[in-house]
Chains A and B, each alone.
Chain A
Amino acid sequence: MLNDFMIRALFAGLGVVLAAAPLGCFVVWRRMAFFGAATAHAAVLGVALSLAMSISVFVGVLAISLLMAIMVTLLSNRGYAMDTLLGVMAHASLAFGLVAVSFVTDVRIDLMAYLFGDILAVGRSDLAIIWGGAGLVLLLTMWRWQALLLSTVSEDLAYAQGVNPQREALILTLSLAIVVAVAIKVVGVLLIAALLIIPAAAARLISRTPERMALGAAAIGAFSVAAGLWGSWHLDTPTGPTIVCAAAILFALLSVIARPLSARFAR
């Protein structure tokens, strides 16, 4: 018999990985992995802010992640070297966030819960927020799918066919901030990027079209959540990291299996 909190944890995890799947594909295709990490790390600053101002953590994290994402986008348009810049901003915001959290002395908080997530403590209202945010991201990416894909293939081809790639990039940025905000409770800021990238990377090994890769990422993500919950229950390990471990093991298995598989298809 599954416990109530386990069911809630399962649904919370599923909500996050479903939204993260198509978005994670774009993160991989557009080489935004570090961008995702930077946005996620900035979330700690959002946590500190929400605790200090006693507003919803979801709102604070969403605001700061969005700010971070937009700032990085603007700076990179000015021609700064992207990876160095992201490295500076990601770790700076993480460090400032951790320092800022320590200032909020009247609230005793478990920092680990924000760094690594606390999926087993997801309540009903958390679940509503997670599914609301995840649903919004899914709708956004599905609605803009063709335009997003074309902008990813080539910004110039997009412009030529009346699609504004900057607007599409903004939609991705917004979606990324939302996913970070809803995923913080599930896997924590340090592992959000993993949940975006690992299922997508694993799905790439067995996909021939972008759609199959997105669906594959969703399936692999969902399986990882289930396996991670099961594993952490039996091994008594932290749940968020166990989910990511499950995804990583799947990735490793697929890369071993997929090579002879794709070779057979190619023949």
Chain B
Amino acid sequence: MAMSANIMNASQQPLLRAQGLNIEIAGRHVLEQIDLDLMRGEIVTIVGPNGSGKSTLLRALIGAIEPTSGHVRQASGLRIGYVPQRLHIDPTLPLTVRRFFNLPGRHSRQAIDDALARAGIEGRGETPMTGLSGGQFQRALMARALLDNPDVLMLDEASQGLDQTGTADFYRQIEEVRNTVGCAVLMVSHDLHVVMRAADRVICLNHHICCQGLPEAVSAAPEYRALFGSVDEEALALFRHDPHHHPHGGHEHHGAEFHQTEHDDAQ
């Protein structure tokens, strides 16, 4: 945390800035008045229900969707590592993993082999992309996104379908690049309790930004609770669970106390 704070202070200019972003698709407001700054070295997680516009926001930030109004500004020469939520590669296109990694910039054989090894798919360079399993495919996408030393990593549910070690590696890699390279990470995730642990800032999105801030603050905010309330009780309990505070807490007692703390936090 101290490390990331330093990096953040070092450069005041945001890597990426969205101002007053509005996006209409087929006459429906998908995104309304989005203001967003992404600073070097921070991990920002977007949470929100299905169809709330998370992927649309990411695609607008990379320039794939022209906003109806408002604008997106990228720092000049910004390198983005993007992992889309879905990627379909047509089976008529013969594309090995290595060839895919060499798009659009070329990389040395060694660099790609190393990236594959780090991603846990060692020796898969000559495998066609269509021949990878779902989880291997996600690992390959992530490895490719990291290959260019990006300034910003944009991950749209990039940990979907990963096994346990894969998920652990995934979050370790994110921490690592943030700490060593100092790149910013903007990710979409439905894995609420991991989000609450790994993020510096959480944005709760439901077509507009409902609330944002430190994970603790967001999880206590009424807007967030309105969206995730009942589903999230357990995740929150896991996150908040601190054995020192209630070592012998019985079930009913525990619940009551929990509510009490929650109430205090909100104020």
Contacts and interface: CB of A to CB of B under 8 A. Distances in A.
Interface of A: 28-31, 79, 146-147, 149-150, 152-161, 163, 201, 204, 207-210, 212-213
Contacts, number: 69
Nearest to B55: A156
A210 B104 contact: no
Q: Is the interface of B mostly helix, strand, loop or mixed?
A: loop
Contacts of B89: 153
Interface residues of B, number: 26
B100 A153 contact: yes
Contact of B103 (A79, A150, A208, A213): A150
Shortest 3 CB-CB contacts between residues of A and residues of B: A160-B82, A159-B64, A160-B62
23 contacts: A29-B92, A29-B93, A31-B90, A146-B105, A149-B104, A150-B103, A153-B87, A153-B89, A153-B103, A154-B87, A156-B59, A157-B87, A157-B103, A158-B104, A159-B62, A159-B64, A160-B63, A161-B80, A163-B104, A204-B92, A208-B94, A209-B95, A210-B94
Nearest to B61: A160
Contact of B94 (A79, A160, A204): A204
Given A147-B104, A150-B103, A156-B64, A28 B82 contact: no
Q: Is the interface of A mostly helix, strand, loop or mixed?
A: helix
B189 interface: no
A3 B15 CA distance: 67
A212 B105 CA distance: 19
A157 B82 contact: yes
B146 interface: no
A210 B99 contact: yes
Contacts of A152: 93
Contacts of A29: 90, 92-93
